[in-house]
Each structure stands twice: as structure tokens, then as C-alpha cells.
Structure 1
Amino acid sequence: MILSPFEWTIAKRYMLPGRGEAFIALVAGISLVAVMLGVAALVIVMSVMNGFRAELFDKIVGLNGHAIVQAYGGRLDNWRDVLEQVKATPGVTRASPLIEQPLLGSLNGRVEAVYARGNTQEDIQRIKPKVQTGSIAGLTPGSGNVAIGSQLAQNIGARVGDNITIINPQGQSTPFGTVPRQISYHIAAIFEIGIYDYDERFVVMPLEDAQTLLLAGDSIGMIEVQVTDPDNVQAILKPVKDKLGGQAVVTDWKTINASLFEALAVERVAMFVVLSIIVLVAVFNILSSLIMLVRAKTRDIAILRTMGATRRSLLKIFVTIGFIIGSLGTVAGLALGMVFLFFRQPIVHGIELLTGQNLWDPSIRFLTELPSRSDPVEITTICVMALVFSFLATLYPALRAASTDPVQVLRYE
């Protein structure tokens, strides 16, 4: 919609009302701020929700793979053959043996529930970027070295160089009953994955040491698998599932974390709908300000009509005024949202200092920091939605202005 110089001049004049029309300007300013806050809220919340899903997916899958192959009974004896079958499956990028068993960990009289996790040397190297203190270079078979999560280290007061005792209740049988198996390990490194539950429980050790601890012989607990397309993991691993029917079960990340990711998906949709209503309410302010402007300018509109202004020109003028208010609010909201997301962690800390409340408890939120990941398509959708709402809000007052009858308005002038 291209405006002529005359139409653009009138539009600029009406967007900057005179002294006697300060209230109209105030309502228009409130409309702009309302649209800005609505768009900013949508951008912030949707980016944070996307960040939640992406961070959880990256960290959970990065540690556990896209799927696991686990034998019935928890022990996979012919795991080398199964491992080769899985690796040979088209679409599988990585497959490695894994042992993961809930046990007890003890240090200086403090006892915590832990997960003893036996990994290959290749998989152990994958947590190297997550190491806070110490080094995982010493985590070799038979070394007696382990790496533990940061929150677990805090709970039991452990530091690099201490010895943690892992207790396996399924120990050796004696004439006096079963004696729990206790093995002391040297803490060589402390890591932080970024997921509270993992950092609070995991004790990582070489696969061979985990087999010795659990008296598992040459068997393992499961095989973790990564594929080229995580969303299509079920179809990729269907041949494996068919071959291992009756021997092992194949469980993908969607099933393992179904409740968590489904809850995030539902919450994401609900938040989008609710915050879209906020934008809609903000757009009604544009509608009300334009209606007030049309009523205040009725005499001017009638004079313009008598001077030759067409209905189409008046329609374009008032649509432009409302659309510019909505556009400025949308751009300002987008900028405000991006600034908030960039400084999100300092803002959270600042609010915590002001209120004295812990707004981000990792034990509840899963992640140690507020995540964010902006989706360009989603942000474009938000901006387009705000602009469309703004345009629709201008139609009624613009049509009212265009239908003004100059004879009726100027009859008694």
C-alpha cells in the first residue's frame, strides 16, 4: 500500500496530535508499549522453552545416546555380536557398550545413592569438556580412578584426590549370608554435565572396572546408540529390534524421556496461546486509539472530503497510522526480547537479590542455568502475527473515517 505525498503528510500530522489531543497521543503510546511488551514476552518465553528442550535433548542424548539396547534381565552376554549388528545398521553413527547400575557411595561417613557408570575409553573422553577440576586422563582400566558429578561431590564433601567407597549390595555369599561388596576408588576428576540429576548421581569409571565392581564377568548392561536422525530413530533401529526380538529390548530417547518432553511440548503450546492473547489485547489498544482519533478528527475528515480526498485515501491514511504503531511496537518488542535473552542470567540473579528468592533451583529445573535458543521461523511467525493483528485492528476505524459524510458533519458549520 503506497501512500501519495498528500496522504503521507496527513498521516504524519495525525500521528503527532496537537496539544489539545494529548490524551489520544497517550493512548497511542500505551498501544505501542503494550504491543512491544506482548511481542517481547512471546519472544522470551518461546526462546526459553525452545532452549529447555534443546538443552535437555543435547545433554541427555549426549550422555545416553538416542537409544539403548538392553537385554532382558539386565545383562547382555553376547554383547560383542550385538554391538557389531547395531554398528552395521544403516543410519547408526555410533554404538558403544555401557554399564549403569544404582549403588551407594560413601565418603567420610556420608552416604548417597549413586549410579555407577562404566564407559569405554572413547566415551569417557566425551566428558572431558565438562570436567571442572582434575583430569580424566587417569581413568584407565585397573587404575582405580573415577570421575564424579559436581553436585555429588558437594553433597558428600568430596574433592579431587579423595577416595570414595562404592557399595554393591549384591556382594559375595558367605556362610553368614551375603556380604556387600565395597571398593574404594580415587576421585581423579569432578565434572558438571549441566543436568542436576546426572551431576548429583553419576560416578563414571572404565567399563572393565564396572564389570569387576558388579561381578558381571564379561557381560554389560546395555548398548547406547546414536543415529543420523534422532526424530526418526524408531524407523532406523527397526531392523535391530526385529533381529533381537526375545533377546533384548530397544528403547529410544522419546520413550525414555516421554513424560518430560511431552510436558514441555504441551507447556510450550499453552504459553504460546496465552501470550498471543496478550498481543491481541495490546492490539485492541490500537483499535481504541484510532477510534478516538477518528472521532476527534471528524470535522477535519469532512473538510478533506469536500476538498477532494477520496474514501480510499482516508482508508489508507488511518490504516497506515495504526499499522505504523503496531510495527514500531513489534520491532521494539523484538529488540527488548533479544536484549533480555542476552542478559537473561544476570537478570535472574538480579531478581533473586532483590526478592531474596531462589528463582532457579537446579534440583527442580533440571538444568543449572536458564537456557535460550531462538528459532528464526518462530520469531518470524510472532512478528507476522503481531503485524496482522495490528492491520486488522485498523480496518474498523479506517472504514468509519472513510464513510464520513461531509454534508452531515458540516451542515451547521
Structure 2
Amino acid sequence: MILSLFERTIAKRYLLPGRGEAFIALVAGISVGVVMLSVAMLVIVMSVMNGFRAELLDKIVGLNGHAIVQAYGGRLDNWEGVLEDIREAPGVVRASPLIEQPLLISFNGRVEAILVRGNTQQDIDRLTPNVLAGNLAELRSGERNVAIGARLAENIGVRLGDTITIINPEGRATPFGTMPRQIGYRVSAIFEIGIYDYDQKFVIMPMQEAQRLLLLGDTVGMIEVKTTDADRVEEILAPVERQLAGRAVVNDWKTINSTLFEALQVERVAMFFALSFMVLVAAFNILSSLVMLVRAKTRDIAIMRTMGATRRSLLKIFVTTGFTVGAIGTAAGLVLGFLVLAFRQQIVRVIEVVTGQNLWDPSIRFLSTLPARVDPVEIAGIVALALVLSFLATLYPAFKASSTDPVQVLRYE
């Protein structure tokens, strides 16, 4: 919308009321503040929700891949041939044999339920960035070294170099019955994935050690698969699933974590819908401030009409005034939202210190830190929503101003 010099001058004058119009300036300032806060809240909440989903997906996929091919009965015979077939499937980036079994761990009289994972050396090496202490290079077949999660180490009081006992209830049969299999392992590394459940349960060891512990021989329980596109994993692995029908089942990350990600999606949509009403309230603030401005400037509007100002000019003046308030609030909201996101972890810590409450308990939130990921498309949608509602809020007051009858207003002047 192109403005003439006259229209720009009047719009600027109305955006910066004089000393005698402090109340109008206060209402306009409140409108800017409400738009700013509503946009900032939308940016912060949606970015945190996106970050939560993306962080969970990255960490889950980083440890479990995009899908798991799991054998019926827990043992996959001829797994080498199955592994080659999966690796040759179009769209598959990586496939690795995997053993995962719930067992018990004992240390200094304390017993905890754990998940023992037997990985290939390549998969173990991928955990190197997550290691807090120790060296994964010591996890070699025959040396009885393991890596455990940081939360598990805290729970049972294990330190680097300690020896833990892993108990397999399915031990060897003896004349006196089945005796649980108990083997001591040295803790060579402590890692932190960032997902509380994983850091509390997982004990990682070389594949051959897991096979000996679980008496599996040369078999494995499952194959971990990573594809080119996590969202198309079902389509990519459909031929593999048909080929393995009756021998194994393919579970992708969506199925394995369906409850969690569906809950996140529902919450994300609900939060956006609820917070969008804040933008609507902000638009009503703009409308009310413009209505007040029109009422206060009725005499000025009538005078401008008698001096030759057209209805179109008045319409453009008040639309520009209200839309500028919305645009300033939107820009300020983006700046505030990005600042809060940049310092979110420090803000959480300050609030925890002031209130004495643990706002981010990893055992409840799954992740160790508050995540955030900005989606440019989503931010553009938030900006568009705020600007469109701001524009719509200006139409009624602007039409009201443009339809002012100077004869009626100035009759008794």
C-alpha cells in the first residue's frame, strides 16, 4: 500500500501521540506489548516442542536406528544372509546385528534391572561423542569390559574401573536345577545418551560377549536398520518385511515409540491452537486502540475531509497506523522469543534457584536439557498470523473514520 506524503505524515502523527494524548499512547503501547508477548510465546513454545521431538528422534535413532528387524522367538538364524539382504535393499544406509536383553546387575549388594546390548565394534565406536569417562576402545571381545549409562552408574554407585556382576536368570541346567549365570565385568566407560531411560538402563558390551552371556551361540536377536529418510522408513522397508514374513517382524521408530510421538503431536497442535488465541486478543487490543483514536480524532478527521482528504486517504492512514502497531509488536516478539530460546537453559536454572523447584526432571522429561529447534516455515506462519489479524483488526476503525460526515461533526463548531 503506497502512501502519499500527506498520508505518511498523518499516520506518523497518530503513531506518536502528543502530551495531551497520553491515554491513547498507553493503549497503543499495551497493544504493542500484547502482540509482542503473544508472538514470543508462540515462537518459544513451538520451537521447544519441535526441539523436543527432533531431539528425541535424533537420540532414539542414534541408538536404535530407524527400524528394528526382530526375530520371532528372540533368535534370528542365518542372520548373516538376512543382514546382507537388508543392506542391499534400496534406501538402506546401514544395517547392524544387535542383541538386547533385560537382565539384572549387582554391585555392592544393590541390584538393578538393566538392558544388556551387544553391539558390533563399529556401533560401539559411534557412541564415542557420548562418553563421559573411560575409553570405548577397551570394549573388546574376551576382555569382559562394558560401558554403562551415567544414571545407572549414579544409582548403584559404580565408578570407572569397578567390577559389576550381570545376572542371567536363564543359566545352565545342573543336577540341582537351573542356576542363574553370573559374570563379572569391568566398567571401562560411562556414557550419557541424553535420554533418561537409556542412561538409567543400558549396559553395552561387544557382540561376542553378549552371545556368551546369554548362551546364544552364533545367533543374534535383531538387526538395527538406518534408512535415507526416517519419515519414509515403512515404505523403504516394505520389501524387506515381505521377504522376512514368518521369520521376523519389522518395527520402525514410529511403532516402537508411537505413544510418545503421538502424544507430542497432539500436544503440539493443542498448544498452537491455544496460544493462537493470544494473537487474537492482541488483534482486539489493536482494534480497541484504533477505535479510541478515531473517536478522539473525529474533529480532525472532519477538518481533513473539508480540506480535500478523500475517504481512501483516511482509510489508508488508519490501516497503516494499526498495522504498524501490529508489525512493531510482531518484530519485538520475534526478538524476545529468540532471546529467550538462546538463553533458555540459563533461565530455567535461575527459576529453579529462585523457586527451589526442579523444573526439568530428566526422569519425567526424558531429555537431560531443555531442547529447542526453530522451524523457519513455522516462524513465517506465526508472523503471517499476527500480521493478518493485525490488518483485519484495523478495517472496522478505518472504515468508520473514512465514513465520517464532516457536516455532522462540524455543525455546532
TM range (shorter): over 0.9
Q: CA deviation at 1:125?
A: 0.3
The corresponding residue for 1:227 is: 227
Is 2:43 aligned against 1:43? yes
The corresponding residue for 1:358 is: 358
The corresponding residue for 1:262 is: 262
Q: Which amino acid aligns with 1:389?
A: L
Deviations 1:237-257 (A, max 9, x none): 111111111111111111111
The corresponding residue for 1:190 is: 190
CA distance in 2, matches of 1:179, 1:330: 69
Q: Which amino acid aligns with 1:340?
A: V
Q: Which amino acid aligns with 2:229?
A: D
The corresponding residue for 1:292 is: 292
Q: CA deviation at 1:20?
A: 2.2
CA distance in 2, matches of 1:29, 1:289: 9
CA distance in 2, matches of 1:89, 1:16: 66
Give the secondary structure class of the aligned counterpart of 1:326.
helix
Give the secondary structure class of the aligned counterpart of 1:111.
strand
CA distance in 1, matches of 2:103, 2:58: 26
Give the secondary structure class of the aligned counterpart of 1:400.
helix
Deviations 1:239-285 (A, max 9, x none): 11111111111111111111111111111000001111011101110
Q: TM-score w.r.t. structure 1 length?
A: 0.99
CA distance in 1, matches of 2:125, 2:18: 70
CA distance in 2, matches of 1:49, 1:40: 14
Give the secondary structure class of the aligned counterpart of 1:182.
strand
CA distance in 2, matches of 1:278, 1:164: 55
Q: Which amino acid aligns with 1:304?
A: M
Deviations 1:312-342 (A, max 9, x none): 0000000001011000000000000000000
Deviations 1:123-149 (A, max 9, x none): 000000000011101001111100000
CA distance in 2, matches of 1:200, 1:66: 22
1:8-47 maps to which residues of 2 (within 5 A)?
A: 8-47=8-47
Is 2:54 aligned against 1:73? no
Q: Which runs of 5+ in 2 are unaligned?
A: none
Identity %: 73
CA distance in 1, matches of 2:338, 2:59: 24
The corresponding residue for 1:374 is: 374
CA distance in 2, matches of 1:19, 1:407: 29
The corresponding residue for 1:104 is: 104
CA distance in 2, matches of 1:18, 1:368: 52
CA distance in 1, matches of 2:50, 2:143: 42
The corresponding residue for 1:7 is: 7
1:241-390 maps to which residues of 2 (within 5 A)?
A: 241-390=241-390
Q: TM-score w.r.t. structure 2 length?
A: 0.99
Is 2:179 aligned against 1:156? no
CA distance in 2, matches of 1:250, 1:232: 14
Q: Which amino acid aligns with 2:102?
A: P
Is 2:123 aligned against 1:117? no
Q: Which amino acid aligns with 1:256?
A: I
CA distance in 2, matches of 1:157, 1:28: 60
Q: How many residues are aligned here?
A: 413
CA distance in 2, matches of 1:406, 1:75: 90
CA distance in 2, matches of 1:137, 1:234: 35
Q: CA deviation at 1:19?
A: 2.2
CA distance in 1, matches of 2:223, 2:15: 67
CA distance in 2, matches of 1:263, 1:370: 18
Q: CA deviation at 1:4?
A: 0.6
The corresponding residue for 1:130 is: 130
Q: Write out the 4+ residue segments of structure 1 that deviate beyond 2 Å after TM superposition.
A: none
Deviations 1:14-36 (A, max 9, x none): 11112221111101000000000
Q: Which amino acid aligns with 1:254?
A: K
CA distance in 2, matches of 1:71, 1:100: 12
Q: CA deviation at 1:174?
A: 1.3
The corresponding residue for 2:63 is: 63
Give the secondary structure class of the aligned counterpart of 1:390.
helix
Give the secondary structure class of the aligned counterpart of 2:73.
coil
CA distance in 1, matches of 2:103, 2:218: 20
1:179-218 maps to which residues of 2 (within 5 A)?
A: 179-218=179-218
Q: Which amino acid aligns with 1:230?
A: A
Deviations 1:95-134 (A, max 9, x none): 0000000001111111111100000000000000000011
Q: Which amino acid aligns with 1:382?
A: I
